[in-house]
């Protein structure tokens, strides 16, 4: 039985097909199943460290709403990323909480933990989240060092379709 020798042209075509299929699979997996992210800031320490890389399941939210404690990747309201400071979706006094986000979404991704869902009431006292009148169990949170940033004046109710 004779074996055929592969020509240089045939090997090149085979290599191109293999690379194209691998690239297609990688793009398809990233588009529909998992996506890699790098943690850019210390906001999720100690759960996620700065520059840590994570793979995010893109199917997870298709099977139900987020729950308190879930870690989510999302586009925040445009007002959350404003260089001049956070902006609210409605007019509020300087020392009041913002009850509504700005209507547009920012282009950046945030990776954060869900603290409250639609209809929940929250307030912050001494750096602790008070969810529906009870302190939220958050063993992953660093103690607040004191000062005005450890408290939010008043209580807000999370609007339908929104999460805090």
Residue 41 is among the residues annotated as catalytic for this protein: no
Q: How many CA atoms lie within 13 A of 106 on its CB side?
A: 18
Q: Which residues contact 151 (CB under 8 A, 6 or more apart)?
A: 124, 125, 126, 127
Given 6, 41, 43, 104, which residue is catalytic? 43
Residue 112 is among the residues annotated as catalytic for this protein: yes
Q: What is the 8-class DSSP label of residue 138? A: -
Q: Which residues are catalytic?
A: 43, 112
């Amino acid at each position: 039985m004779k074996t055929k020798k592969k020509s240089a042209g045939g090997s090149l075509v085979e290599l191109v097909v293999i690379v194209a299929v691998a690239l297609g699979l990688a793009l398809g997996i990233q588009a529909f199943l998992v996506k890699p992210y790098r943690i850019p800031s210390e906001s999720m320490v100690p759960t996620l460290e700065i520059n840590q890389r994570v793979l995010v399941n893109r199917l997870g939210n298709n099977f139900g709403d987020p729950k308190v404690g879930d870690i989510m990747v999302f586009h925040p309201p445009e007002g959350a990323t404003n260089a001049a400071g956070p902006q609210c979706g409605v007019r509020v006094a300087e020392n009041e909480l913002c009850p509504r986000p700005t209507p547009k979404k920012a282009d950046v991704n945030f990776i954060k933990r869900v603290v409250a869902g639609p209809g929940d009431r929250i307030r912050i006292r001494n750096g602790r989240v008070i969810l529906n009148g009870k302190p939220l169990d958050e063993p992953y949170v660093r103690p607040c060092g004191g000062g005005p940033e450890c408290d939010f004046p008043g209580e807000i109710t999370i609007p339908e379709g929104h999460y805090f």
